[in-house]
Amino acid sequence: MDYSIVVPLFNEEEVIAECHKRLSDTMAGCGGTYELIFVNDGSSDGTMAFARSIAEMDNHVKIVSFSRNFGHQIAITAGMEKAAGKAVVVIDADLQDPPHIIPEMIAKWKEGFEVVYCTRIERKGESVFKRATAKIFYRALNSLADVVIPKDSGDFRLLDRKVVDLLKALPERNRYVRGLVSWAGFRQAAIEYVREERFAGKTKYPLRKMLKLASDALTSFSQKPLRFPVYLGLFLSFAGFALLIVMICLAIFTDYPFAVWACFAALSLLLDGIVFLCLGIIGQYIGRIHDEAKARPLYVIGETVGFGENI
């Protein structure tokens, strides 16, 4: 098998037919053998029925269907674990990432690059808030992360077989795939493109999921937040000592009516808030340790279609 195209699906009944058409047209022009792996991430609409009907008509199509929704990053992981291609392309079904870029990615791969990622130079159809928060996220992550993660790039990328095999061997459960790819290293190349509007349907990454993804990214690839309480504690100790000196001097050398109790109350509230903030940061890391210690499988497969057949 030359190429595997991994497509996570979550309630994408409105786009799956067009997604299949465009991917099939693109891959037919690339030469070589290929497979389209649709990963149904616990969809509650007719996505699985549409995917099954497509697989019946096209023997290039294979399906992995989860028993429930496990999340986008886990769906990508499952697709890579099932992929047989020498090169694996990850692309979302909503067609915001255009399939016609795939031949350029393959050309870069044939030049010897083991990772080819796509960088967005424009994001059509997204709100100002979404664009602004994405920009802040990527830049904040790179300033804190222990590895360099390309800015303005998502999971739309091509991975060589050796990179896929390495990712499959990594045991962690709270996965941030694009960060893991950057951590792995290898020879990487970028392709710039314009991200289109969704072909149909609604975004599957609301603010809540974006915050979860940001938390996974930060706690997976940086220990700097754990150092924050240390620096903050030193600063507050110095500030508290300085404030105490100022209060003593005011009480001795001036007649200024200074409400000592009010100052202490405000300072106590501030310190309590900071303590809980620090405990929250530490709790995020402890929660990740708890997830890893349970060692549960990343996902549960309810059904597969097309695997084991000759293509």
Helix (H, G, I), strand (E, B) or coil at 125: coil
Q: At 267, is the secondary structure helix, strand, or coil? A: helix
Q: Is 50 exceeded by the pLDDT of residue 310? A: no
Q: Which CATH superfamily is domain 3-222+297-305 in?
A: Spore Coat Polysaccharide Biosynthesis Protein SpsA; Chain A (3.90.550.10)
Q: What ranges do the domains of the chain cover? A: 3-222+297-305, 224-294
The answer on pLDDT for 49 being more than 80 is yes
* Residue 193 confidence (pLDDT): 82
Element (H, E) at 120: strand 115-123
Helix residue ranges, H only, 187-259: 207-221, 224-253
Question: What's the predicted TM-score (pTM) here?
Answer: 0.69
Express each pLDDT in 137-183 by its tens digit. 666 655 666 666 777 777 889 999 999 999 888 877 777 787 788 88
H/E element, 145: none
* pLDDT surpasses 80 at 51: yes
Q: Hey, what are 256's tokens?
A: 């200024």
**For residue 262, pLDDT beyond 60:** no
308 vs 57 pLDDT, higher one: 57
pLDDT value at 264 more than 50: yes
d(C-alpha 101, C-alpha 90), whole Å? 12
**At 5, is the pLDDT very low, low, confident or very high (cuts 50, 70, 90)?**
very high
Residue 274: per-residue pLDDT: 72
Share of the chain above pLDDT 70, in %: 62
Residue 174 in contact with residue 215, Cβ under 8 Å? no
Read off φ and ψ for residue 236, nearest 5 degrees: -70, -35
Beta carbons of 298 and 74 less than 8 angstroms apart: yes
pLDDT band at 297; cut points 50, 70, 90: confident
Cα(294)–Cα(162) distance, rounded to whole angstroms? Answer: 28
pLDDT by residue (tens digit) across 76-105?
Answer: 999 999 999 899 999 988 888 889 999 999
DSSP structure class, residue 197: P
d(CA 270, CA 259) in angstroms, rounded, equals 17
On the question of pLDDT at 12 being above 60, the answer is yes
Q: Distances in Å between the alpha carbon of 168 and those of 82, 251, 298, 308?
A: 10, 66, 11, 20
pLDDT beyond 90 at 293: no
* 223's tokens: 């220990």
Mean model confidence pLDDT for the chain? 78
Question: How far, CA to CA in Å, does 270 sit from each of 58, 134, 240?
Answer: 63, 30, 11
